[in-house]
A and B are shown apart, each in its own frame.
Chain A
């Protein structure tokens, strides 16, 4: 049993680390949201929008996202295979290396060391560290599964395995580069080909960092916290395989109307639209599961987190594919609509589901109850309102921008200069900062609640010992 105790410490380490990086990433996000409408808030050379935007996305994707994925995947894994991690010390080393890696990653981005590939900006030495981290993760995941004490692998394990494999392939291929020095490299692929590789990676990073591992959490923690089994095993199977099959074809929807060959764009659009089906397979499965006993919405405070999370996943996976259509892409691509879309996914689906999973795990590790359900409810409403305000504001801005860029006078000349289309965004961007603040306050309630639960747990442990 002490093995579990040791492994729980590692799980906890990852959770706490991910929350820490989450705070850093969100604060940077707030600053850059102000820079959008107040250029004096840029402090060159280090703290300009151009550098900080990359810090924001990478710290949140790799620090908050991947950190939580490591910790919660290990938690889920051990319980589903009924044994501790096969290499607990390796996992502990992984935890330290993870934090060093994210710190170095953030600092190097601030210093302007970047590959300029979205979500793969880290320069090659950091890339190598990330690959090593991922191999450590893979070794523990596969080792522990192979030595498992429960024969059947539950859905969450499928998603974890798919994540491990896909991220490895994606990350290694897209980060192949020609190093020119320790701090600078050039993409191995050039021009159109570089674009195609990058967005094959970029979109699937969304798929296999912000979707599959979060679905692993959803499929595990929803039944655990409600006590209701997943509605349809068969639907889970079909949704899983069609999701992991279709995702890899879709990257080109980021390159609609670029010089990328038309046929690749078209294939990308077709598979992107198809993704609605597997995504909604999970949404429907979630809804029917809770639907068998709606009273859980009132009796279990976590149910609404998961249901709201999967609802945003559902909205996200209809909106996203629609954006891929040429006629829609024409209007909204390159506008603020897209960050609006991304933030619904990250703030609505990923953070909501991850936070609820952490609420479930922390009291279990400390063998206690959550500090305050009331605080959790306040957290819920703040992040929900903050996120909705954020996304809706950005959608309106995006449509307006797209329409103004296209507007022409009767004689065919353009109606607005670029600057005119820009200045009309300022009130919306100010609103976005407010929305971000509301969301941040919600996250502070979350952190407070987690912290107090841990304190309560520690006090409990010392009295029993």
Chain B
């Protein structure tokens, strides 16, 4: 009986194989930029923010 073995060429489109959709690239870089912002804002040793301080603030209000 014949086995259907695969030719890798059949899996990969030739004409669009190197395309990266623009919307996706914006998402990719956007998330990295946002990540840097968030990391800076919520790391205690950088911004001074901490969850216990945030709690104290919320109770004082």
A and B touch in the complex (CB under 8 A): yes
Using known A-B contacts A80-B6, A234-B20, determine if residue A229 contacts B13 with beta carbons closer than 8 Å. yes
Cβ of A281 under 8 Å from chain B: yes
Q: How far is the CA of A266 from the CA of B19 in the complex (A)?
A: 33
Q: Name the B residues within 8 Å of A19 (CB-CB).
A: none
- A225-237: CB near B (< 8 Å → 1, else 0) gives 0000111111100
A367 to B2, CA, bound (A): 10
CB-CB under 8 A from A220, the residues of chain B are 11
**A277 lies within 8 A of chain B by Cβ:** yes
Name A255-270 residues within 8 Å CB distance of B. 257, 262-263, 265-267, 269-270
**B38 engages A269 (CB within 8 Å):** yes
Distance, CA A1 to CA B2, complexed state (A): 8
Q: How far is the CA of A292 from the CA of B31 in the complex (A)?
A: 28
Contact A277 B21 (CB under 8 A): no
For B32, the chain A residues whose CB sits under 8 A away are 274
* Contact code string B3-35 (vs A, CB < 8 Å = 1, else 0): 111101011111011111101100110011011
Any B CB within 8 A of the CB of A288: yes
Q: Which residue of B lies closest to A258 (CB)?
A: B51
Contacts of A284 in B (CB 8 A): 21, 23-24
CB contacts (< 8 Å) of B35 on chain A: these are 270-271, 273-274
Q: How far does the alpha carbon of A73 sit from the alpha carbon of B45 in the complex, in Å?
A: 45
Q: For chain A, which range describes its interface: under 10, 10 to 19, 20 to 34, or 35 or more residues?
A: 35 or more
Q: Which of B5, B11, B21, B27 contacts A229 (CB 8 A)?
A: B11
Q: Is the CB of B19 within 8 A of A229?
A: no
Q: Which residues of B contact A230 (CB under 8 A)?
A: 11-13
Bound-complex Cα distance A5 to B3 (A): 9
Does A189 have its Cβ within 8 Å of any Cβ on chain B?
no
A-side contacts of B12, CB under 8 Å: 154, 229-230, 233
- Using known A-B contacts A82-B6, A154-B11, A280-B24, determine if residue A234 contacts B43 with beta carbons closer than 8 Å: no
User: When the two chains form the complex, which single residue of B6, B16, B18, B28 contacts A277, counting CB atoms closer than 8 Å?
Assistant: B28
Give Cα distance in the complex from A284 to B28, angstroms: 13
Knowing A1-B1, A235-B21, A277-B27 touch, does A152 contact B13 (C-beta < 8 A)?
Answer: no
Q: Are B11 and A235 closer than 8 Å at their CB atoms?
A: no
Interchain nearest-CB distance for A306 vs B (Å): 14
Write out the residue numbers on chain B whose beta carbons fall within 8 Å of the beta carbon of A257.
51
Residues of B within 8 A of A152 (CB): 8
CA distance A364 to B42 in the complex (A): 53
- Evaluate contact between B18 and A234: CB separation under 8 angstroms: yes
Q: Which of A4, A220, A231, A242 has the most CB of B within 10 A?
A: A231
Interface mask (A320-346 → B, CB under 8 Å = 1, otherwise 0): 000000100000000000000000000
Minimum C-beta distance from A450 to chain B (A): 20
Q: Contact: B51 with A262, CB < 8 Å?
A: yes
Bound Cα distance A82, B8 (Å): 10
Q: Which residue of B lies closest to A276 (CB)?
A: B31
CB of A238 closer than 8 Å to a CB of B: yes
> Are A277's CB and B13's CB within 8 A?
no
Interface residue from B4, B6, B31, B43 paired with A266 (Cβ < 8 Å): B43
Sample of 5 A–B contacts (CB below 8 Å): A80-B6, A152-B8, A230-B13, A233-B13, A270-B38
Instruction: Knowing that A232-B21, A273-B34, A364-B4 touch, tell me 16 more A-B residue pairs with CB under 8 angstroms.
Output: A5-B1, A154-B12, A219-B11, A220-B11, A229-B14, A230-B13, A234-B17, A234-B20, A262-B43, A262-B51, A263-B43, A263-B45, A266-B39, A269-B42, A273-B35, A284-B21
| B residues in contact (CB < 8 Å) with A | 1, 3-6, 8, 10-14, 16-21, 23-24, 27-28, 31-32, 34-35, 38-39, 42-45, 49-51
